[in-house]
Structure 1
Amino acid sequence: MFLCPAFLRANRDPMTHLPASQLPKQLFAPLVKGAAQAITDYRMIEEGDRVMVCLSGGKDSYTLLDILLHLQKRAPIQFEVVAVNLDQGQPGFPTHVLPEYLSTLGVPFQILTEDTYSIVKEKTPEGKTTCALCSRLRRGILYSHAREIGATKIALGHHRDDILETLFLNMFFGARLKAMPPKLQSDDGTNVVIRPLAYLAERDIERYAAAKGFPIIPCNLCGSQENLQRKIVGEMLEGWEREHPGRLQNVLRSLTRVTGSHLLDRELFDFASLSVRPSEGDRGFDGEEYPEREFLAGLSEMPMLG
C-alpha cells in the first residue's frame, strides 16, 4: 500500500495515525455513503442497468470506479459495470497504465483511440483554453460508444466542487444560474449521464486517492493551463471553505431548495399574473399568516413609542 508523504503532512487528522491497511477503508466508507445517497436521491442506477464508467486516469474517475464496483456487490439490485478510457492521442500518454491497472481489478474494460488532440491544437487559437472543444469532442465519442455497447447509463467522475465551480462560472461569465445536474439526458434522448460523486467534496476524494496510490495520469493538454477561469473560481471556493468550513455544503444544498418566486426568472415563475386578492388576513414576509383581528389586537397591546 502506497501512502504519499505529502498527503500525510497536508492532512494531519485523527485518521493519519491508523495502519496503512486500514486508512483507505476509513476514508472509503463516507465516500460510499455519500455516493449511495446521491444515486438513491436521483435514481441514477436501476435494475438491469449497464453502467459505462468513463476513466480519465485521474483521482475522481478511479474513485468513482472503486465505489461502483463496491456497490455492485452490495446493492439490492443487479447492474453491470464496464470501464472505458478514451486515448485522445496526447503526446507521451502512458497507454499501458490503465489496461494494467484495470486487469488487476478484473473489471471489463475497453480502450478507445481517437486523435482529438491534433484537432484541438489546430482549432484552438494560441493562448485560448482548450477545454470547451476537447470536452465536446470527447463527449461525442463516448456517447456514440455507449450506444454501441448498449450502456444505459454513462457515469462521470464530477464531484461537489466541480458542480459548484460550474455554478459560479455560469454566473460570472455566462449570466446564467446553472450548474451540473446529477443526472442528465442527452439532447437526442439516447444517453443518460449520471454523476454519483455529486455530494462528495474533492478534498475527501484526494485523501482517498492518495491513500490508495492510484496510478494517476495527468492531463497535459489542459491541466497545465494557468489562465483557466475554472482554476480561479476553484481557488475562490477553497478560500471560502478555509475561512468558513461548511459553506460549500450549504451552497450545494441551496441548489436542492430553489424558491422560484424569490428569483427573477419570469419563465420559472409567473410574476405578471400576481395581483391583490380579497383580504383574508395579512401575511408576513416569511409566509406566516396573521389573521386580521389577532394582528390588530397585538398592536393595541404594544407600548407606545416616545
Structure 2
Amino acid sequence: MAGGVPIYDIGALSVRCNTRIIADSQPEFAVHTFSDLPTPHAVPRSSTFLRLKKKLERSVGEAIADFNMIEDGDTVMVCVSGGKDSFSLLSILLALRERAPVDFRIVAMNLDQKQPGFPDDVLPAHFAALGVEYRIVTEDTYAIVKDKIPAGKTSCSLCSRLRRGIIYRTASEIGATKIALGHHRDDMIETLFLNLFFGGRIKSMPPKLVSDDGQHVVIRPLAYCVEKDLARFARAMAYPIIPCNLCGSQENAQRRQIKHMLNAWADAHPGRIESIFTAMKNVVPSHLLDEKLFDFKKLTKEVAVAEGDVAFDPPDFDDPVGAPQAVISMVRGH
C-alpha cells in the first residue's frame, strides 16, 4: 500500500523494567531458566495458547490502526528490556510483519545499564536466534544513579530520564522513524490514577506522542493489551526473563498502592477496570473544568455543546455507551 497508510495488524515493544509475572490459576505454562530455554521458534501449539496469541495480536493491531502508529517505510526501533512485555511483543511483531500490508524495518534495541548481575549474553543470543536486526547499547547509568540517589530511595525517575535520552540518541543513529515502547493497558490505568490522586491532573500515558524536541515519534502498541495476558504469553514462550530489581531499587510506593487498589477493584467488581479504560476514550471536555480544553468564557446560547443538557441529569448507566457487558450487568444488579 502507499505511504501514509497505517498498518492494521502489527505491534511493538517495551523499554520498561517491569517484569513481574502475575500469578495465574492456569497451570499449563511452566517457567524456564536460561539453561533450558527452547529456541525462539518453538511456539506452543495448544488451543489455549493459540487463542491467547490471537487475542494479543488482534489487540496490538487494533491499537496501531486506531492511532496510526506505523506506516509504510517506517523503521521501528523496538526497545527490549528483557521483561515479559518486550519479549512477548517482539515475537508478536515479527509474526504480524509477515502479513502486514506495508513494508517496515524492525530494529530491536537493548540498553545495558551495567546493573550488577545483568546477563549481557541473553538478549544478543535471543535476537540472533530470531534473525532480527538489533543494537545493544552499553551505558553505565547504574553508577550515575547510585551516585545521585541516596541509598534506600527509589531511583526509577532518574533512571528513566537517563534511559530516555539514550534511547532518543540511538533512534537518531539508526534512522528510526518510530520508537516503540511496551506500556500496556494496566500501565495506562495505573498512571491515570497516580496523576489523579497524587498529581492533581487527569492524565495518563498517550498511545502516541512526539518528543519535546520534535525529533521522535513514540508509540505504545500494547495500549489495548492486558498485563495478565502478556504474563501468560511470556510463560508459555518460556522467555529468559531478566529480573527488574537488579539495580536494587524498590517499586514506587504510590504506584504499588494504585496496583493494590486496582487489583482489589478487579476482584470485587468485575468490569470496573474495563469501564475505566473505556472512559479514557470517551472524554467530554465541556463537562469538566479545564479552560484549556473548553472555552467556557465564550460559551453562549448560540453555541451547541455535546451532551449539554445532560449535565443537569443524574447519570443513567442502564446501558452505558461502550461499557463492557459485565459492567452493564453489575449496575443493573444481576
Same fold (TM over 0.5): yes
Deviation (angstroms), 1:208: 0.6
Gaps of at least 5 residues in structure 1 are 1-6, 289-306
Which residue of the partner structure matches residue 198 of structure 1?
Answer: 223
Deviation (angstroms), 1:97: 0.7
Of 62, 67, 88, the residue aligned with 2:87 is: 62
Which residue of the partner structure matches residue 328 of structure 2?
Answer: none
CA-to-aligned-CA distance 1:54-106 (integer Å, 9 cap, x gap): 00000001111112111211111111111000000101100011111111111
Which residue of the partner structure matches residue 122 of structure 2?
Answer: 97
Of 162, 165, 188, the residue aligned with 2:187 is: 162
Q: Which structure 2 residues correspond to residues 1-306 of structure 1 after superposition, within 5 A?
A: 10-12=24-26, 21-22=45-46, 23-221=48-246, 225=250, 228-275=253-300, 284-285=309-310
1 CA distance for matches of 2:145 and 2:60? 33
Does the 8 Å contact 1:88/1:116 carry over to 2?
yes
CA-to-aligned-CA distance 1:202-236 (integer Å, 9 cap, x gap): 00111111111111001224676155321221121
2 CA distance for matches of 1:88 and 1:44? 28
Larger RCO of the pair (alpha carbons < 8 Å, separation 6+)? 2
Residues 30-39 or 100-109, more deviating: 100-109
Letter of the aligned partner of 1:204 in structure 2? D
2 CA distance for matches of 1:29 and 1:223? 36
SS in 1 for 2:57: helix
SS in 1 for 2:106: strand
SS in 2 for 1:200: coil
Residues 64-73 or 140-149, more deviating: 64-73
Which residue of the partner structure matches residue 322 of structure 2?
Answer: none
Letter of the aligned partner of 1:21 in structure 2? R
SS in 1 for 2:110: strand
TM-score by length of 2: 0.77
Gaps of at least 5 residues in structure 2 are 1-20, 30-42, 314-334
Deviation (angstroms), 1:266: 1.5
SS in 1 for 2:298: coil
Deviation (angstroms), 1:276: 5.2
CA 1:224–1:73: 2 relative to 1, 3 Å: same
Residues 121-130 or 169-178, more deviating: 121-130
Does the 8 Å contact 1:131/1:222 carry over to 2?
no
Residues 238-247 or 145-154, more deviating: 238-247
Does the 8 Å contact 1:129/1:222 carry over to 2?
no
SS in 1 for 2:239: coil
2 CA distance for matches of 1:245 and 1:66? 30
2 CA distance for matches of 1:277 and 1:226? 51
Does the 8 Å contact 1:166/1:179 carry over to 2?
yes
2 CA distance for matches of 1:234 and 1:78? 38
Does the 8 Å contact 1:97/1:215 carry over to 2?
yes
Does the 8 Å contact 2:59/2:225 carry over to 1?
yes
CA-to-aligned-CA distance 1:109-141 (integer Å, 9 cap, x gap): 111000000111111123321111000000000
Does the 8 Å contact 2:63/2:224 carry over to 1?
yes
